[in-house]
Amino acid sequence: MISINDIYERKTRLSYYLYREARSVMPYGVSSNYRYWEPYPIYLVKGKGSRVWDVDGNEYIDFNMGFGVLEVGHSHPRIVEEVRRAVEDSTILGFEYEKSVELAKIICNRYNVDMVRFSSTGTEATMHAIRIARAYTKRKKIIKFEGHYHGSHDQLLINVNPMRLESRVPTSPGIPEETLSNTLVADWNDYEGFERLVRVHGNDVAAVIMEPVAMNMGLIPADLDFLKGVFDLARDYGFLVIFDEVKTGGKFYSGASGYYGLKPDLIILAKAIAGGLPLSVVAGRRKVMSVIGPEKVAHGGTFNANPLSVKASIFTLTELLTQNNMYYAYRLNSLLSKGYEDIADDLDIDLSVSMWGTSGTIYFAEKVPKNYKEFVRIDQKPWYVYFLNMLAHGIIPMADYDEQWTISIQHTEEDITRHLEVAQMVLKKLKEDYKL
């Protein structure tokens, strides 16, 4: 009997040879840890619309979409044209680009914020947001939630994906304990636990930061009452609320803050807002953002608001990620999510589905978890078999078991149908082999 690893290796021989070459000059042969998987990753050469192609010539319908960046799809022709024209005027100008003012106004209006500052990546933006919060409140401590990811800077790399529960766990070697001494960890969707933590430390807390829809343990939306309780405690104790909307900002027209009808003190945007180019935003209330400036809070970056990203973002937010287009992607996401639910019912397997905006995910569990502690108890072995089987049949379902799919405005109903056809076949085989 041929194993799925054998099938995968036969279809991706050139990726394997490139991986062997790459790992001699790049750790694990990749530029980001999140691009590696066992037995080795695939290496892509191009993307167009809803599809990508690897070095072996295999074509995949892509539902990872750059980890949520490509809400507009791959190489959208109108983005390509905007970038081509922008290159003719310079890729970077050094001083402030005139169009950055136009983009700032668009973001303020769409996301209900007063002021913005631009950076290049989500990691930079969350790092700056923490500094701003500490300067504004003149306090040191930050509360984050277990299982939430806020980029790869030291201050928040704690309890992102710990295997040891009930303890404070740095997410990487090389992070001094003293760097994390002012970072407190709470459980997602657990108001009582959060309240107990605030009662002890609240007067020393500068801010609480969260993914308002947790998208690094699959996809776990916040309970609205929980969010309102967090906002009430923040007001009572005088600390800020930061929404890390790096992922959520492009999956609902006005982000999670608009969806929930809440106004955090600071919002971080990135990924989908620039149509595939690097751009991030720290945005928020005027009184909080006003601490930034010369001889005040440091914020800089040579590539901040570079012309290519700014022009692409203006076009993305005004012409492509419109309410109509985003509703189209949402409708496709509903079809995909409902399709997985129907498959689970037909096969009588323990598989739950979670969706929000234009993204969704599956759990090989009877119900969607409420927080990281429930998520980490799910057996992930069936997921990896599912993933390799989906790849072998031309579907990239998502990036990893703790990620989610993204539906772009260039996906079609035919793409959804094919995804579900393959999933039906793969999950049926999984039931037989793993007794799901």
DSSP string, 25-92: TSGGGSSSGGG--SS----EEEEEBTEEEETT--EEEESSHHHHT-TT-BT-HHHHHHHHHHHHT-S-
pLDDT at site 163:
75
Task: Specify the DSSP element, H or E, that contains 356.
Answer: strand 352-356
pLDDT at site 166:
66
pLDDT at site 162:
84
pLDDT at site 168:
86
> Stretch 89-106: mean pLDDT, rounded?
96
Q: Kindly report, residue by residue over 73-85, the tens digit of the pLDDT.
A: 999 999 999 999 9
- Active site members: 149, 244, 271
pLDDT at site 269:
98
> Stretch 259-270: mean pLDDT, rounded?
98
Residue 61 has pLDDT above 90, yes or no: yes
78 strand-pairing partners? none
pLDDT at site 434:
74
Q: Kindly report, residue by residue over 291-303, the tens digit of the pLDDT.
A: 999 999 999 999 9
In the CATH scheme, what is the code of domain 77-320? 3.40.640.10
> Stretch 398-409: mean pLDDT, rounded?
96
Q: How far from the centroid of its chain's Cα atoms is residue 11's Cα?
A: 29
pLDDT at site 2:
73
pLDDT at site 135:
98
What CATH class does 4-71+322-434 carry?
Answer: alpha beta
DSSP string, 171-211: SSTT--HHHHTTEEEE-TT-HHHHHHHHHHHGGGEEEEEE-
Taking CB atoms within 8 Å and a gap of at least 24, the contacts of 229-232 are 229/191, 229/194, 229/195, 230/191, 230/194, 231/262
> Stretch 205-211: mean pLDDT, rounded?
98
The C-alpha atoms of residue 386 and residue 20 are separated, in whole angstroms, by 25
Under the banding of pLDDT at 50, 70 and 90, the label for residue 436 is low
Under the banding of pLDDT at 50, 70 and 90, the label for residue 100 is very high
Q: Show the tokens assigned to 116.
A: 């913005």
Pick from 104, 132, 69: nearest CA to 406: 69
Pick from 421, 73, 403: nearest CA to 214: 403
Pick from 291, 300, 210: nearest CA to 247: 210
Strand residues in 174-330 grouped as ranges (E) = 183-186, 205-210, 213-214, 220-221, 240-245, 266-269, 280-284
pLDDT at site 116:
98
Share of the chain above pLDDT 70, in %: 99
Burial class, 381, CB count within 10 angstroms (exposed 0-12 / middle 13-18 / buried 19+): exposed
Every domain range in the chain assigned CATH 3.40.640.10? 77-320
The C-alpha atoms of residue 98 and residue 23 are separated, in whole angstroms, by 43
Q: Kindly report, residue by residue over 122-158, the tens digit of the pLDDT.
A: 999 999 999 999 999 999 999 999 999 999 999 999 9
Residue 286 has pLDDT above 80, yes or no: yes
Mean pLDDT of the chain: 96
Q: Kindly report, residue by residue over 348-396, the tens digit of the pLDDT.
A: 999 999 999 999 999 999 999 999 999 999 999 999 999 999 999 999 9
R_g over Cα of the chain: 22
Residue 280 has pLDDT above 90, yes or no: yes
Under the banding of pLDDT at 50, 70 and 90, the label for residue 5 is confident
Q: Kindly report, residue by residue over 306-353, the tens digit of the pLDDT.
A: 999 999 999 999 999 999 999 999 999 999 999 999 999 999 999 999
Residue 49 has pLDDT above 70, yes or no: yes
Residue 18 has pLDDT above 70, yes or no: yes
Residue 415 has pLDDT above 90, yes or no: yes
pLDDT at site 230:
98
Residue 154 has what DSSP assignment?
A: G
Q: Kindly report, residue by residue over 217-251, the tens digit of the pLDDT.
A: 999 999 999 999 999 999 999 999 999 999 999 99
Under the banding of pLDDT at 50, 70 and 90, the label for residue 3 is confident
CA–CA distances in Å: residue 128 to residues 67, 120, 125, 137, 385: 22, 12, 5, 14, 39
> How many C-alpha atoms does 329 have within 13 Å on its Cβ side?
31
Residue 433 has pLDDT above 90, yes or no: no
Every domain range in the chain assigned CATH 3.90.1150.10? 4-71+322-434
pLDDT at site 1:
60
